[in-house]
Structure formats: structure tokens, C-alpha cells
């Protein structure tokens, strides 16, 4: 997408607010079809949670993108995504003999309103592999998590 990094200029991140974030691998390469590489990304999501940057509610690592439902605790969405994308790229690139960027520029965010029900959004996230035809049941897909389990 040309100018994709400019699509969300003026983005506002509010601590305590719930967000759905989506990030896509450069050229939509299915990097995370390799379970080991998906686990490296999952470790970065967990680290952000453990370090108190977010309360991670649900996530799924698809072969070529990530969906992450979280409550922002501190910092900005841009700093959070720079951190996750940068750290995961440094971990993953050596495994795939890749140099340069792993992720597309930017990311998509949606702030959930207070009246939005978070649980249907979480269900949508974890059912993504079913809709993509990767598995028949949520439990058959290895790269997801939700706090409601």
C-alpha cells in the first residue's frame, strides 16, 4: 500500500483503553507458517505483557499477519508496535536468512468503545485460522491465546 505509514497520522493512544491491532508481514510472505517462528513472535507479545506495557487479552499469529487484542497500560501504540516488530524481526531474520524488514510499514489499530463487547472481538481473532481454512477447530491451531481459557 503506497503511503500506508501515513494512513493513521494523528493516532492517539490512551492507557487503559482496549485496542485491536493488526500487523502484516512484508509482501504477505507466510513466514509464520513455520511454527517455531510464530512462537518467537508470541514470545515478544508475552514480553510486552510481562513488562507491563499491555494486558494481552487475545492474539493469533497467522502465516502472514498478527491480530492482537490488548489493553494499553503505558507508552504509545506506535512505540509498542515498533518494539514488537523490531525485536521479532531481529529474532526471526537469521532463521530465514533474511536481511531487511520483516514487516510492512505501519499497522492497523481499532480502539474499542466502552460499549463494545470485548469477547466477540476475541472470538473473531481466535477463529481467524478457521475462516482462513487452516484448521477445522480453534484448538487445532497452535499459534493463539486468550485470557478466557
What 3 state SS string does the chain have? CCCHHHCCCCCCCCCCCEEEEEEEEHHHCCHHHCHHHHHHHHHHHHHHHHCCCEEEEEEEECCCEEEEEEEECCCCHHHHHHHHHHHHHHHHCCCCCCCCCCECCCCEEEECCCCCCHHHHHHHHHCHHHHCCCCCCHHHCCCEEECCC
> What's the total number of domains in the chain?
1
Angle of the 35-50 helix axis to the 77-92 helix axis, nearest 10: 140
63 in a domain, yes or no? yes
Instruction: Check whether 3 has a pLDDT greater than 60.
Output: no
> What CATH number corresponds to the domain at position 86?
3.30.70.1290
48 in a domain, yes or no? yes
Range of the domain at 67: 15-146
50-96: pLDDT as tens digits:
999 999 999 999 999 999 999 999 999 999 999 999 999 999 999 99
pTM surpassing 0.85? yes
**Lookup: cell for 117:** 463487547
140 in a domain, yes or no? yes
5 in a domain, yes or no? no
141 in a domain, yes or no? yes
89-118: pLDDT as tens digits:
999 999 999 888 999 999 999 999 877 789
8 in a domain, yes or no? no
Can you give the pLDDT at residue 11?
64
44 in a domain, yes or no? yes
Instruction: Check whether 10 has a pLDDT greater than 90.
Output: no
Instruction: Check whether 9 has a pLDDT greater than 60.
Output: no
84 in a domain, yes or no? yes
Amino acid at each position: 500500500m503506497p503511503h500506508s505509514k501515513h494512513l493513521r497520522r494523528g493516532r492517539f493512544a490512551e492507557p487503559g483503553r482496549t485496542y485491536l491491532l493488526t500487523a502484516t508481514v512484508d509482501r504477505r510472505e507466510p513466514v509464520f507458517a513455520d511454527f517455531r517462528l510464530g512462537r518467537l513472535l508470541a514470545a515478544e507479545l508475552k514480553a510486552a505483557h510481562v513488562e507491563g506495557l499491555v494486558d494481552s487479552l487475545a492474539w493469533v499469529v497467522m502465516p502472514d499477519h498478527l491480530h492482537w487484542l490488548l489493553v494499553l497500560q503505558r507508552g504509545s501504540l506506535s512505540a509498542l508496535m515498533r518494539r514488537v516488530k523490531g525485536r521479532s524481526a531481529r529474532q526471526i531474520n537469521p532463521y530465514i536468512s533474511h536481511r531487511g524488514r520483516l514487516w510492512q510499514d505501519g499497522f492497523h489499530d481499532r480502539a474499542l468503545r466502552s460499549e463494545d463487547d470485548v469477547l466477540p472481538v476475541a472470538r473473531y481473532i481466535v477463529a481467524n485460522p478457521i475462516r482462513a481454512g487452516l484448521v477445522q477447530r480453534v484448538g487445532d491451531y497452535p499459534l493463539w491465546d486468550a485470557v478466557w481459557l
